[in-house]
Amino acid sequence: MMKLMGIDVGSTTVKVTVIDGEEILYKSYIRHFARVRETVLSELYNVRKKFDGEFAVSITGSAGLGLSQRSGLNFVQEVQAAFIAIRKFYPDADACVELGGEDAKIIFITGGTEQRMNGSCAGGTGAFIDQMATLLNISVAEMDEYALNASKVYPIASRCGVFAKSDIQPLINQGAKKEDIAASIFQAVVDQTVSGLAQGRRIKGKVLFLGGPLHFLKSLRKAFVTTLNLSDKEAVFPDDAPCFMSLGAALGSKSVKPMPLGSIISCIENVSDSAEIVTGRPLFESKEEYTAFVKRHRATDLQFADIAGYEGDSYLGIDSGSTTTKLILITPDCRILYSHYQSNNGQPLEVVTEKLKEIYKLCGDKIKIRASAVTGYGEELIKSGIKADFGIVETVAHFKAALHFNPKVDFIIDIGGQDIKCFKIKNGAIDSIMLNEACSSGCGSFIQTFAKAMGMEIDKFSHEGLFAKHPVELGSRCTVFMNSAVKQAQKDGAGVDDISAGLSSSIVKNAIYKVIRASSVSELGENIVVQGGTFLNDAVLRSFELETGKEVIRPGIAGLMGAFGAALYAMENIREKSSLITESELDGFTYESKSANCHGCTSNCNINIISFGDGRKHVSGNKCERGAGLKPASSELDIFAYKQSRLTECIKKSTGTRGKAGLPLQLGMYEQLPLWAGFFESLGFEVILSDKSSRSLYFKGQHTVASDTACYPAKLMHGHIESLLDKGVDFIFLPCESYNIDEHCSTNHYNCPVVAYYPELLKANNERLNANNFISPYLDLNMRKNTVQNLYRTFSGYGIKKREIAKALDEGFKRLEEYQRDIRAKADEILEEARKQDKQVIVLAGRPYHLDNEINHGINKLLTSLGIAVLSEDGVFDKTQAVKVDVLNQWTYHARLYRSAHFVAERDNVNLVQLVSFGCGLDAITSDEVRAILEKNGKLYTQIKIDEINNLGVVKIRLRSLLATVEAEKNKNTQR
Amino acid sequence: MKEKIIDYTNEYPKWNDSMKSTHKILIPNMLPWHFRIIGDVLWQEGYDVEILENETRSVIDEGLKHVHNDTCYPCLCVTGQYIDALKSGKYDLDKTAVLITQTGGGCRASNYMSLIRKALSTEFPQVPVLSVNFSGLEKGSSLKMSLKLFIKLGYAIFYGDSIMWCYNQTKPYEKENGTADRVRDGLVEFLIQAFRKGKYKNFIKLNEKIIKAFASVERTDVKKIKVGIVGEIYVKYAHLGNNNLEGFLLSEDCEPVIPALMDFMLYCIVNVINDREYYGHNAGTAFIYRYVYRKVYGKQKKLIKLYKDEGTFEAPHDFEYLRACADKVLNQGVKMGEGWLIPAEMAALAETGVPNIVCAQPFGCLPNHIAGKGTIRTLKNLYKNENIVAVDYDPSATKVNQENRIKLMLATARENNGRINN
């Protein structure tokens, strides 16, 4: 009988299966390290050694498509291949989950066959797990082991690797246990699969689990089985899972014309490289050019002093970064006595104490550490751990360091492992700060992860790129996308050197065009200092110089600049006696980390408590002071706190005779709650509000989310609906409103498409909703009479008179107007009080629904704890005129933003921070305008992107940097 | 409103009609054959237009450099195309303008105008951006729309649609490779002449000519899988926006079914009428739109009759039928972006034997969360074999990734087909 062969070329592995009738003659599973063609060929040679005769062959898999097209061999789509094999070997299966290197798939077999695949923006796959393991600096197998001993699971954003990273990094820095982090990562993958792919359809019955990760990782299996609540019988993990798709492809070859193996091999041997790759110019044309380049940069190194021979004072700077820890010890004349740079292995405190011991030993009695300062992500933990004298925000540290190398510096760019920071310097102060947003972080750790995936050390990998002839153009976007672009380039035959050079230039382009958003390179200034560990990579440095066309300064200690700046700061602010932990104290230094929930308020924040050997404690993860056992800052000057209580007061809590009306407090309802509460209460309904937003509320509705790239507020809405349904309301009311209320200061007054029509999506994707329990009329509230008519028709089943409707609507509008009036009055009050107390004011400008603590992650509380008075856009916009902007001003809420920006521009001591929900397409437009308005008036623009991730660390850096700049500005003005 | 409006706008060059004689106007290429006819119509009106055909990777790169990361892909493509063209040295920068349409709807599309303006401002500050719109936007810098021009454009769209509709039903089946393309080229030329001679109002005769010309192409009698393309207007039609989706489907041995551009126009018109009916907006405006709607819809009905009488091709969708389809899935109140038109087309396709659909949208397209992906569940409940793949288009989404997903949809389609036939 004819032999059937299936070749499955995945994103990381090649699988080959040969069958003869029922019998599996041969199967193999090997990594291809991007050498797809060679790997497939070597496998075929193996097959040739064992068998002869004719084969009917098919190729499958995500990387197999191109190979099939160019070799002319038959292609079977991989989900289809899996399906064929399932029907053959597991005819009684109900569903199948398959995770691959870059794809995740679900096949529903019984109850309506359906095959689903992840979209283009979805992590949750093998590559994601690899990336996370790299971040923890352990192997995937180790991560699997760790996870089995977990005691706790942290919520981690599962949508995309970049987001998950931002969730995990703070956990690492706060000292959370590796076991728990590992388990959380696997849980995130499960959540992503269940919510992102299943989308409302339950995975139940006999479930087959396929693909490499699910075969090799016990913890991942466990997480799936527990989450889906499957019995041992129901969860099936086939032994041949890794090769399942190739098996399916072999079975799918039945109708393919058989060929001698020799012809198949020559088909693949003859595959040529595709000509589709776009290439750029080489980084260096010649070795000489490179030598000159290296020599030029050598010139800007610090001097070293011999620690063994030196006697006298010294200053210690520590930069506890996201993935690395840096220490530096300098003399008063800025010579380096000691420096250290290492990956923190997820244990920054351990690294610091160990190195500090070493420093103390080297110093002996002759060198005295006069002062110390800490900066970076892990600042607070390290500072309290080793009792450092100062903690400074990292932007300030970097600026200090850059000034040392070029007093005229007007632009600093720092690319670290995890983030990109850029600041413009004007008049000796930081003028604007740009940090990478969660979505464009093509940073250093990406090259590192990638080098590892190629089986190479980072140094060697980047060195390869220096002399690449045809660097690949990889675009400049988020790493997940870049990953696919790299894969595609590999498939098209690009070499490691070309990819390495391409990655370097991508990182640079990403920084210049996406983070800085320069419209031309001349905007960057004349005296540029580049720093951060990533710039130690000559390929990146060169790419930057080529792209900007400028010669820049890269200090020899580019990777230590934060620490150096901290040391300089310590030197400038020296106190009588340093509080730094002494050598003897250090010997007995121990600590223990424990996670807990704070019960200070209803937020129930996840907090981490680190207890030091001497009885001191460090608490992190808390949003307010309560978590640390302190009294929270007063919320008197916080309009968010006021609004939150004022908003719910709009419900007068009357018991209804006509029934219970449920109002989901999310999206537009955050603005219109007073209106609808008034309306329904006046009609004699009892108004029931949905539960407060929380992560768990989100999970409750996650299975009905249809589009996982929608904004977080929209996705939260699903949970609100579920909570109302559980409360037994008679109906949920949420109108569709194309038009918002006209505030007469814009060309049009639309709602954004999501706010306007989300009820339609809810109705279509939640099977518990129907025309009776979910009421969403189309209304234009500017047309009162028409609205009365529409509502009258909508509630015709309740026997309500039109007169009553009109009266109720009047009551609603009355409550809305009162609410808005009170907010504005409160804003005035806060402004006045802040002026009296000489406090800085920040307008947190976003949308009405940014009032939600689950959405803003308590940024208002963070601000009040920093001693800032907080206002909101809806409290201030009407205190100023309408503004005309360059873009079409056609959305009500956005028009408020422009006016708020102008309001801020007109006042001293008032600044604006714009809150932007990730995925908000409209804010791509508004944020540039708001920035323009502020900058035209010499104000700083700060934007904070918020999503389901709860990483206040980054936010804090931004806010503290802003405050530091404002402070510096103020001091300068008073000196004048 | 308080006493004074604070003006934060930047200076930008405006278009005025006197530039007609001096400036060349660049137009992005969304539908090559439609736009060739439309381009010539504008040329006859005295506008020196050129439809851009630069579609290389550098177009996308320029777009990436000049447009905000989170802005939708169509804007990025169009801006990139302009900048790439302006940089090419082929145009006298002091005598070139670029054109963009504005619908005035509630999604971002009406803001492409200002985004393009911003993108051009550093390197090409002298190049005016002119708007084509029917909502009274950009009064200082828009194309003057006479009634005659308006009518001419309407006819041009109808003929373009007719050519596209017949071509797509002919190309997959032509016996001799290239015949359908030759017929199409000939017809476009013929129609341009008809417009020049002022005979464009000969609606029946011209359409008959189109249908007959394609019907006379010799066909094989193989059965092919039909795949509908719906979605955001630009990525639905433009090859640059959708990685030549039409070509890919042809290479996969499918028949692409691409609904007419005129349906989008009718959709825009109906939305204004609906604003009156839903919310009681201005009666006068609605009256005019109703009149236009009746006229255009009347023509469409005549066109459909021609197809039915001739018999070779499936007739295009009847717009009232599309509206009825929409009502089964999504309220016609969803009017931002392509809104209810998307599910309407998906339902209509399913009912007319095309259950296999690519729903194309730019990555992160807001209205499509609701009208595209959000309606798939409802559609699947309504139509048993509905087989939709939602594909996101984005500068960095790889072609392989997109094609692999479309292939999955096709595999399902073939399987369903097998089941139905047996």
Q: How far apart are CA A950 and CA A166, in angstroms?
A: 8
Is B408's CB within 8 Å of A738's CB? Answer: no
Is A119's CB within 8 Å of B412's CB? Answer: no
**In the predicted model, what is the mean pLDDT of residues A855-884?**
91
CB-CB contact of B307 with B211 (8 Å)? yes
Task: Annotate A667-733 with DSSP letters as a single string.
Answer: TTHHHHHHHHHHHHHHHTEEEEEPPPP-HHHHHHHGGG-S-TTS-HHHHHHHHHHHHHHHTT-SEEE
Amino acid, single-letter form, for residue B51: I
Is A754's CB within 8 Å of B333's CB? Answer: no
Is A757's CB within 8 Å of B104's CB? Answer: no
CB-CB contact of A471 with A279 (8 Å)? yes
Per mean pLDDT, which range of A159-173, A569-583, B284-298 is the poorest? A159-173
CATH code for the part of the protein at B17-137: 3.40.50
Residue A880, chain B, CB below 8 Å: the answer is yes
Residues 176-235 of B with CB under 8 A from A: none
Contacts of B118 in chain A (CB under 8 A): 886, 928
Is B370's CB within 8 Å of A760's CB? Answer: yes
- What does the block give as tokens for B205? 């005769």
Q: Is A22 exposed, middle or buried (0-12, 13-18, 19+ CB in 10 A)?
A: exposed
Highest-pLDDT range among A134-138, A348-352, A541-545, B184-188 = B184-188
- What does the block give as tokens for A884? 């005309």
Residue B136, chain A, CB below 8 Å: the answer is no
Mean pLDDT of chain A: 86
Q: How far apart are CA B150 and CA A852, in angstroms?
A: 48
**A387 has a pLDDT exceeding 50:** yes
Residue B363, chain A, CB below 8 Å: the answer is yes
- Chain position carrying tokens 């969360």: B369
Contacts of A488 in chain B (CB under 8 A): 398-400
**A171 has a pLDDT exceeding 70:** yes
Q: How far apart are CA B337 and CA B334, in angstroms?
A: 9
Residue B111, chain A, CB below 8 Å: the answer is yes
CB-CB contact of B370 with A758 (8 Å)? yes
- Chain position carrying tokens 């699988």: A15
CB-CB contact of B172 with B220 (8 Å)? no
In the prediction, which pLDDT does B209 show? 97
Largest Cα–Cα separation, chain B: 75
- What does the block give as tokens for A927? 């944020």
CB pairs under 8 A between A and B: 249
Q: How far apart are CA A698 and CA B1, in angstroms?
A: 40
In this prediction, residue A346 has a pLDDT band, given cuts at 50, 70 and 90, of: low
- Chain position carrying tokens 């940090």: A435
* Listed residue (A599, A595, A630, A602) closest to A858, CA to CA: A602
Given 3-state DSSP classes, what are the helix, strand and coil percentages for chain A, each rounded to the nearest 5?
A: 45, 20, 35
CB-CB contact of B304 with B318 (8 Å)? yes
* Listed residue (A140, A223, A134, A235) closest to A186, CA to CA: A223
**In the predicted model, what is the mean pLDDT of residues A68-76?**
87
Is B333's CB within 8 Å of A738's CB? Answer: yes
Q: How far apart are CA A631 and CA A283, in angstroms?
A: 57
- Chain position carrying tokens 């009892």: A686
**Residue A865 φ/ψ region, left for φ over 0, alpha for ψ in the -120 to 50 degree band, beta for the rest:** alpha
Q: Which of B279, B369, B408 sits opposite A783 (nearest CB)?
A: B279
Q: Which of B64, B107, B373 sits opposite A513 (nearest CB)?
A: B64
Given 3-state DSSP classes, what are the helix, strand and coil percentages for chain B, each rounded to the nearest 5?
A: 60, 10, 30
- What does the block give as tokens for A241? 């899972």
- What does the block give as tokens for A791? 């509502």
What is the percentage of chain A residues whose pLDDT exceeds 90?
Answer: 41
Q: How far is A612 from chain B (nearest CA, A)?
A: 45
Residues 100-139 of A with CB under 8 A from B: 114-115, 117, 119-121
**A276 has a pLDDT exceeding 60:** no
Q: How far apart are CA A120 and CA B390, in angstroms?
A: 10
Residue B374, chain A, CB below 8 Å: the answer is yes
Q: How far apart are CA A554 and CA B215, in angstroms?
A: 69
Q: How far apart are CA B256 and CA B172, in angstroms?
A: 9
Is B401's CB within 8 Å of A922's CB? Answer: no
Contacts of A779 in chain B (CB under 8 A): 279
Is B114's CB within 8 Å of A898's CB? Answer: no
In the prediction, which pLDDT does A558 show? 85
Q: How far is A464 from chain B (nearest CA, A)?
A: 25
Contacts of A274 in chain B (CB under 8 A): none
Residue B405, chain A, CB below 8 Å: the answer is yes
Choose, out of A738, A780, A789, the residue to mutate when testing the contact with B (most B CBs < 10 Å): A738
Q: Do B223-259+317-421 and B17-137 fall under one CATH topology?
A: yes
Contacts of A761 in chain B (CB under 8 A): 369-370, 374
Residue A883, chain B, CB below 8 Å: the answer is yes
**Residue A137 φ/ψ region, left for φ over 0, alpha for ψ in the -120 to 50 degree band, beta for the rest:** left
* Listed residue (A618, A610, A613) closest to A589, CA to CA: A613
* Listed residue (A106, A101, A94, A82) closest to A194, CA to CA: A106
ipTM: 0.92
Contacts of B412 in chain A (CB under 8 A): 80, 115
Backbone angles phi, psi at A415, to 5 degrees: -110, 115
Convert the pLDDT of each residue in A599-640 to its tens digit: 766 666 667 788 888 888 888 766 666 666 666 677 889 999
Q: Is A286 exposed, middle or buried (0-12, 13-18, 19+ CB in 10 A)?
A: exposed
Q: Which of A475, A757, A891 sits opposite B395 (nearest CB)?
A: A475
**A442 has a pLDDT exceeding 50:** yes
- What does the block give as tokens for A186? 């696997």
SS3 A282: coil
Dihedral of CA atoms B285, B290, B296, B300 in degrees, nearest 10, equals 150
Is A884's CB within 8 Å of B5's CB? Answer: yes
SS3 A409: coil
Distances (CA, A) of B178 to A108, B53, B333: 42, 21, 43
Task: Annotate A205-229 with DSSP letters as a single string.
Answer: SSEEEESHHHHH-HHHHHHHHHHHT
Is B412's CB within 8 Å of A928's CB? Answer: no
pTM (2 d.p.): 0.85
Question: Domain B223-259+317-421, what architecture?
Answer: 3-Layer(aba) Sandwich (3.40)
In the prediction, which pLDDT does B108 show? 80
Q: ∠ CA A577-A582-A588 to the nearest 5 degrees?
A: 155
Per mean pLDDT, which range of A194-198, A275-279, A454-458, B191-195 is the poorest? A275-279
Handedness of CA A15, A19, A22, A25 (dihedral sign): negative
Is A921's CB within 8 Å of B70's CB? Answer: yes
* Listed residue (B314, B316, B312) closest to B218, CA to CA: B312
In the prediction, which pLDDT does A22 show? 79
CB-CB contact of B100 with B68 (8 Å)? no
**A110 has a pLDDT exceeding 80:** no
Domain definitions of chain B by residue range: 17-137, 223-259+317-421
Residue A482, chain B, CB below 8 Å: the answer is yes
Tens-of-pLDDT digits for all 422 residues of chain B? Answer: 445 778 888 888 999 888 999 999 999 999 999 999 999 999 999 999 999 999 887 898 888 778 876 788 899 999 999 999 999 999 999 999 999 998 878 788 888 888 999 889 888 999 999 998 887 788 888 888 889 999 999 999 999 999 999 999 999 999 999 999 999 999 999 999 999 999 999 999 999 999 999 999 999 999 999 999 999 999 999 999 999 999 999 999 999 999 999 999 999 999 999 999 999 999 999 999 999 999 999 999 999 999 999 999 999 999 999 999 999 999 999 999 999 999 999 999 999 999 999 999 998 788 888 998 889 889 988 998 889 998 888 876 667 778 878 988 998 898 888 766 55
